[in-house]
Amino acid sequence: QRLKAAVHYTVGCLCEEVASDKEVQLSKQTIAAISEVTFRQ
Amino acid sequence: KDWFLSEEEFKLWNRLYRLRDSDEIKEITLPQVQFLSFQNEDNGLTQEPTTGIHQLSLSEWRLWQDHPFPTYQVDHSDRCHHFISIMQMIEGMRHEEGECSYELEIKPYLQMEDVS
Amino acid sequence: SCWSQELVSKLLHLHFKDDKTKVSGDALLLIAQLLKVFVVEATVRSIRQAQAEDLPCVDVEQLEKVLPQLLLDF
């Protein structure tokens, strides 16, 4: 779970960076979903 | 120093990204891959939908998969274009009744000695 | 890159049979880059889908729409 949290945090930072660059908002659930997909990949 | 989140990072994660029990969706899961031809033991574990756990669906939007979605830095792979063309074919056959256009089109080329 | 080498190494070692398997720094950097490209691609494709639907916020539904093709592209 700690590893998942570290991946989730890293993915969150990346998503926020892209989202702010595109000036859109990502829901927390979307970030969590991208993190889960990334972890599984 | 190691892979753990630092105290600071943990606070940020906890505030910005962590899904809470109070959230409508408190956990996201991916569907378990099942190869039906390998009936291994854990295939039995069909996941019961549980409240608050959202299982990402790869089929909910299947009707949308008959065209390529826009890409950014990574183009669509050949197998993705193949998937899209199959979804287009399925879409084309969806409303057929009885006769199958694919069969009517391909049948004239069938030579029985090729298959006997 | 935002993926620390320790984090990438830990992720890889989850799947190694032999814990003593070593991964070179270059390989870790390459995997970190792959992870970054994957996350950015998933995010931008979801954003594009939300923009196509004129939505101010990207929700799980937009990711689900692009997910089959995204997974086939990696």
Whole-number pLDDT of residue B2: 87
> How many angstroms separate the first and last alpha carbons of chain A?
16
Whole-number pLDDT of residue A33: 94
Whole-number pLDDT of residue B100: 84
The pLDDT tens digits of the residues spanning B30-77 come to 988 777 777 665 555 556 778 889 999 999 999 999 999 999 999 999
The pLDDT of residue B108 is above 80: yes
Q: How far apart are CA A27 and CA A35, in angstroms?
A: 13
The contacts of residue C49 (CB under 8 Å, 6+ apart) are: B69, C58, C62, C63, C65, C66
Task: Output the CA angle B66-C56-A15, nearest 5 degrees.
Answer: 80
Facing C72 at nearest CB: one of B72, B73, B80: B80
Whole-number pLDDT of residue B40: 60
Whether B17 sits inside 8 A of A6 (CB atoms) is: no
Whole-number pLDDT of residue B92: 87
Among A36, A37, A38, A41, the strongest candidate for a mutation testing the B interface, having the largest count of B CBs within 10 A, is: A36
The contacts of residue B58 (CB under 8 Å, 6+ apart) are: B31, C64, C67, C68, C71
* C30–A contact, CB cutoff 8 A: no
Q: What chain C residue is nearest to B77 in terms of C-alpha separation?
A: C73
Whole-number pLDDT of residue B21: 86
- Tokens at C39, concatenated: 């996350």
R_g of chain A computed on alpha carbons: 10
Task: Give contacts of B32 with chain A, Cβ < 8 Å.
Answer: none
The contacts of residue B61 (CB under 8 Å, 6+ apart) are: C64, C65, C68
Whether C11 sits inside 8 A of A7 (CB atoms) is: yes
The pLDDT tens digits of the residues spanning C21-41 come to 999 999 999 999 999 999 999
Whole-number pLDDT of residue B82: 95
The pLDDT tens digits of the residues spanning A1-41 come to 889 999 999 999 999 999 999 999 999 999 999 999 999 88
Residues 1-41 of A with CB under 8 A from B: 2-3, 5-6, 8-9, 12, 16, 28-29, 31-33, 35-37, 40
What pTM was computed for the model?
A: 0.86
Whole-number pLDDT of residue B93: 85
Facing C73 at nearest CB: one of B1, B2, B77: B77
Whether C73 sits inside 8 A of B28 (CB atoms) is: no
One-letter amino acid of C58: V
Whole-number pLDDT of residue B106: 85
Residue B74: burial class (beta carbons within 10 Å; 0-12, 13-18, 19+): middle
> How many angstroms separate the first and last alpha carbons of chain C?
20
Q: How far apart are CA B34 and CA C53, in angstroms?
A: 32
Q: How confident is the model at residue B89 (pLDDT cuts 50, 70, 90)?
A: confident
